Structure 1
Amino acid sequence: MTLEIEQFMCRSDNFGILMRDTESGIAALVDAPEERPILEAVERTGWKPSLLLITHHHVDHVEANLALKERFGLTIVGPAKEAEKIPGIDRQVKEGDVVRVGKQEARVIETPGHTAGHITYHFAGAGVAFTADTLFALGCGRLFECKPPVMYESLRKLSELPLETVIYCGHEYTESNARFALSVDPTNSALKERAKTIEALRREGKPTLPTTLADEMATNPFLRWHDTIIRRNLGMENAADAEVFAEIRKRKDLF
């Protein structure tokens, strides 16, 4: 029993996700950035989605909701705290709720920060998490609706998932994130090697995702608030973890 995942580009830099439980054949989408690439993915795979799992209300994640609902008759699942902003929502979910895609189960993790009601879907059995705009490869989302301590707590929760968890994010931001990461953690050999790999992938027009939590814990400064070298580089050796995170986020905003 496995979860097959088709990842594809939408808009300029959004990722679309179409998945299928191999045992039941049930398929689902994660977010709906743009109708055309999603329909192309359905045609390419033959996986007709019956569910649409929404992570947050931003238009580049919900734009195609109603068109897809009309075409496929799918059920739209989304964060209860943003329900009024999710077009066509049928089921509202919150922390700890379970969403099933065939035989596969996802636990809902509330991960506010980028938006006040953002959620992550963690398929523990498949070892996969869809973090959208909370956790990026080598980055995290901008704080549009929350203060830094809120995002810090969300990232802390995600950091406690199994290290082998495969992470699917909402955008292809990794190359620019790598440049910033090196500015606060320039002596990290794993980060330097990863940045070279990312640059090569982008030169070839290939995606840098998915990533793994293990790679992020080793190289993503937004998960490395505890690291003594980063703290020394920031002049924050004795600061609280949340304060270190806030400074890193501030510097990224100005980078």
Structure 2
Amino acid sequence: MPQGATTLSIIENSGKARSYGAEAEALWKPAPGLEFGANLAYLNAKYTEYNQVPAPFGTSILVTDASVTTPTIVNGVQIAAAGQRRVFAPGYDCGLIPGTGGTGQAAAAFGCDISGNSIPHSPAWTGAVFASYEIDLGDLGTLTPFAIMNFSSSFFGQPFNSILERQGSFQKVDLRLTYAPSENISIQAFVNNVTDEQTINRFVWGGGGALQASFAPPRQWGAMLSLRF
């Protein structure tokens, strides 16, 4: 038999969800080799039926009062004598749900209804603007500077839509400079995430109530050599 703590991951489906949106793109070439472009997307994605959801352990708060000598009701939650009660923190649309009494561990609590919450990783607005200019160097080939700014409105990383799981709006700028002496060879210098924005790609509630997050790469720079055969 396994000894000690174990971790269990569960994948579940919501009852119902709906999403709708629109996208638009534009490209402008005012002169040979010069391009400007932009794209914009709108998305509205929400759960329409999602209840009986277990809230993450880490989203609760512990109410304790050692001076209590008899079971007492505090803000609608019963506090055991000289003990503790675990209740869900505000912001999860779960209300205040009592856990176990005394000094025991928190009970598994179900019944959270998060219908109406945004679907994770579904920012309302995303888009990009870019520009490039291919400079003809004659027999020496071409030199092409390129710049792009990607942007996103805020979004949540988990269905509970807690402020702890929220990635704020952001913009990221990438730069490229490509020299191509021929059609088969190119050398590119690049800088990604020029302003070194810190953004989170993934949120996961781990064991013991810890919220784990995976960050997108910071500022990166380098060079690439491409050969075509």
TM-score by length of 2: 0.22
Q: Which has the higher contact order (CA 8 A, sep 6+)?
A: 2
Compare the two structures and name the one with the higher strand fraction: 2
